[in-house]
Chains A and B, each alone.
Chain A
Amino acid sequence: MELIRVINVEKQYKNGVTALYNLNLTIKKGEFVFVIGASGSGKSTLVKMMYREERPTKGQIIIGGINVAKLRNGKVYKLRRKLGVVFQDYKLLPKLNVYENVAFALECIGMHKSEIRTRVLKVLKLVGLKEKVKSYPDQLSGGEQQRVAIARAIVNDPKLLICDEPTGNLDPITSMEIMGVLDAVNKKLGTTIIMATHDRDIVNKMKKRVLLLDNGQLKNDYMEGAFNYESV
């Protein structure tokens, strides 16, 4: 069953730079997809359009039945409640501890306290941070902070998890640990994951579907396991 459909999408920024041309693709529920390409290839733009930080200039992006391209600013929350986003810089609130940072996502959508507690503890266990609930972000390593960010992104049980260079700030070993967490989320919870990255090792090792962008165009769509950096 398809979760995302991108139809004839074009994105031109106000300064005249065109980041994406005539993009068409579909992503099924439960897939794990890498979006790769050199800097400026448009992978960040594609990912940003999926959580509607950017809007396409032309075309449609349909995620779980919502036409993201036509979504008004005031209604964006309807989309964002169906997905989670993880960033390179974690985007944690420094004055809240681990538990509070994760709970924040549920408090914002008005969930009851008891429900929040159950969910937060469950998700912190999944990302392996159960022992650090009371630590503050500055007391955690980069990898641990990213785990908190992943926990926050999936605590709402989203259908889709969007990751924009989640391992960009991490060393190779920690990066692989984070990939392990994401893989577990994908397999255990069935969450669809789209991840923009330029980390060759990760892409080679994970053997997932790969969308290769080049100068704003989809150059190739490799099926699971078909891509290897050495062969490109």
Chain B
Amino acid sequence: MKVFRMIPVYIKDAFKSVFRNFSLSIASISCIIVTLLLVSVAIILTINVNNFANKVKSDVTVVTFLDTSVSSEQLDEIKNNVEKLDNVESVKIYTKQQKKDEMAATNETYKNIISTWSDDNNPLSDELLIKVEDLEKIKSTVDKIKAMEYVSNVKYGEGMVEQLVHVFKVVQNVTIGIVIGLIIVTAFLITNTIKLTIYSRKREIEIMRLVGASNITVKFPFIIEGLVLGIIGSIIPIAGTIWGYNTLYKYFGGQVFSPLVKLIKPTPFVYTLSLGLLAIGALVGMIGSSRAVRKYLKI
């Protein structure tokens, strides 16, 4: 195919053309830089908030206290039954024997008292430590566990968990909305800036069509040029992201305010994000060019 044979020529021409139409190229590139920087900040925020949310969510444990009279066979049976429920991710048994041993290990006084307990008169109860898959459905899962035989009490931080889930959901939706909005705005801005660039080259397109260039031949150099603009425009945002996030991470020592709010480690996060920015820049550059040039292919 002639088009493929011409690719190196188009790439060379695209660079030439970027410099030949320097002022308009600078306009397109600045537009890409500003919006990609905003996209980068928004993505960093979103992913860190999500990371924190997921960490908090995975820490939520449903503690199920069983009757003291439960035998070890019954304990296994209850565990099996709980595992069969929807939304249950894992179930861990915490036996009264383990509890007793752990308490005895804390200090001498406890040890002396606890040593008088035999297996039959251990006043502690067995526990099931349950992790759920979906925090939003935790209430109905807990209700099902409460209804089971030998279950005496269930605790999971009622009220606080629901509030937390709600807040995280709102924050997540808002940040994702902002990122998508920014990408769309970038695409529009770039399309319009490239339209300006292309408008000034209307004559060139007209002549190309007149001397018998096929539509794809006319379009291709502009698409490559959009790609080049997109790639050039993403260099500064990528450098800014890598340097900025690393500096931020070092400054805060990897956590914000408390060890609970941990930042994502810069490697490989910033590099993945950089690839993403490069892809967004290249893609919107190409789509913008392609959309902008379409109008002039009717001459």
Contact = CB atoms under 8 A, between A and B. Distances in A.
Q: Are both chains from one complex?
A: yes
A104 B207 contact: yes
A73 B297 CA distance: 8
Kindly name the residue among B20, B211, B212 whose own CB sees the greatest number of chain A CB atoms within 10 A: B211
A83 to B, nearest CB: 8
B99 interface: no
A108 B205 CA distance: 11
A77 B215 contact: yes
Contact of B214 (A77, A91, A95): A77
A53 interface: yes
Given A110-B6, A110-B217, A91 B207 contact: yes
Task: Give the size category of A's interface with B.
Answer: 20 to 34
Nearest to A110: B2
Contacts of B2: 110
B67 interface: no
Q: Per DSSP, are chain B's interface residues mostly helix, strand or loop, or mixed?
A: helix
Contacts of A77: 209, 212-215, 217
A74 B298 CA distance: 9
A80 interface: yes
B212 A93 contact: no
A50 interface: no
Nearest to B201: A93
B211 A104 contact: yes
B213 A109 contact: yes
Nearest to B1: A110
B170 interface: no
B217 A91 contact: no
B206 interface: yes
A158 to B, nearest CB: 9
Contacts of A104: 207-208, 211
A76 B217 CA distance: 13
Contacts of A53: 299
A105 interface: yes
A77 B208 CA distance: 9
A51 interface: yes
B169 interface: no
B210 interface: yes
A147 interface: no
The 7 closest A-B pairs by CB, nearest first: A81-B212, A108-B213, A80-B212, A105-B211, A110-B2, A77-B214, A77-B212
